[in-house]
Amino acid sequence: MRRDRTRSSEIDRGDRRAGFLLVEVLATMTISALLLAALFSITSLTLRISGHVERQTAQIEDHTRLHAALTREIERAVPIRWAGRNATFIFSGNPRSLTFAAEFQTTNNGSEVRAVFIDSATTVVRRVAVVGPAATSFDDIAIGQPESMSDNRLKVTFAYFARLPDGQEAMLQTWPDATQFPVGIRVTLSGADGRASSVRVKLAVDAEPGCGFPDGGRCSLRPAENQDQVDSSSPNGDGG
């Protein structure tokens, strides 16, 4: 009888130990599931952050490349005038497009004046046209085919800095007067997410390269009597 009681007691204790082990297993599984869920959430959050950082980095690189390309082009701009008396500068600008004159080297180590057109109505494109010495307006030049400057649909806007008589500067959305030349141009790029970045490009306005060819009518610094004398002479300006 005593042996039976001892055996029954051992069985009860064994059953109790088995019950505790089952509870521990269930608790361990629950904790493991919570840890896995937390790990999945952390991994998902990390991937989202990584993707966001990657997109931001790509956008910054796109902005930087386009800013650099536009800056290189605009820094070429020089105050060159059309041919003829009282000619205006080869320059025009509004928020979405810009036109200016620049000197380019030719294959025979010479140089020529070209008009550069930058348009950002849809994508940023560039066109170039040779400006002959007798050209008096855009009607006298042949504009070339568009060349893409960016594959991305970044919004580009221009603004123009004018120097006031007191030495201060005013920023204009549209350049109003082709008889004057801006001292700088602000280029602003905006992405689809609304993020924007701007750079200011300084223009060379201290001298007019066209004054090296006074007979071509591109110099605004000649005295008025000399201008009248040239205009009253023969078309070649030699007085013959």
Phi and psi at residue 216, in whole multiples of 5°? -80, -5
DSSP 88: P
Question: How many whole angstroms separate alpha carbon 18 and alpha carbon 71?
Answer: 78
The beta-strand segments (E) located in the chain are 91-93, 97-105, 111-119, 125-130, 147-148, 155-163, 169-172, 184-190, 196-202
143-147, 156-160, 228-232, range with the lowest pLDDT: 228-232
Q: How confident is the model at residue 226 (pLDDT cuts 50, 70, 90)?
A: very low
Q: pTM for the whole thing?
A: 0.67
What would the pLDDT profile of 45-72 be if each residue is shown by its tens digit? 888 887 777 777 766 777 788 889 999 9
What would the pLDDT profile of 153-199 be if each residue is shown by its tens digit? 788 999 999 989 888 999 999 999 888 899 999 999 887 777 888 99
Question: How many whole angstroms separate alpha carbon 77 and alpha carbon 99?
Answer: 9
Question: Alpha-carbon dihedral of residues 161, 113, 96, 168, nearest 10 degrees?
Answer: 0
Q: Which residues are within 8 A (CB) of 194 and not within 5 positions of it... i.e. 6 or more apart?
A: none
Q: Which residues are within 8 A (CB) of 159 and not within 5 positions of it... i.e. 6 or more apart?
A: 95, 171, 172, 173, 185, 186, 188
Q: How confident is the model at residue 118 (pLDDT cuts 50, 70, 90)?
A: very high
Contact 124, 148 (CB under 8 A): yes
78, β-bridge pairs: none
Question: How many whole angstroms separate alpha carbon 191 and alpha carbon 177?
Answer: 31
The distance of Cα 92 from the centroid of its chain, to the nearest Å, equals 19
Burial of residue 109, with CB atoms counted within 10 A of its CB: 0-12 exposed, 13-18 middle, 19 or more buried: exposed
Residue that is written with structure tokens 């904790």 in the block? 31
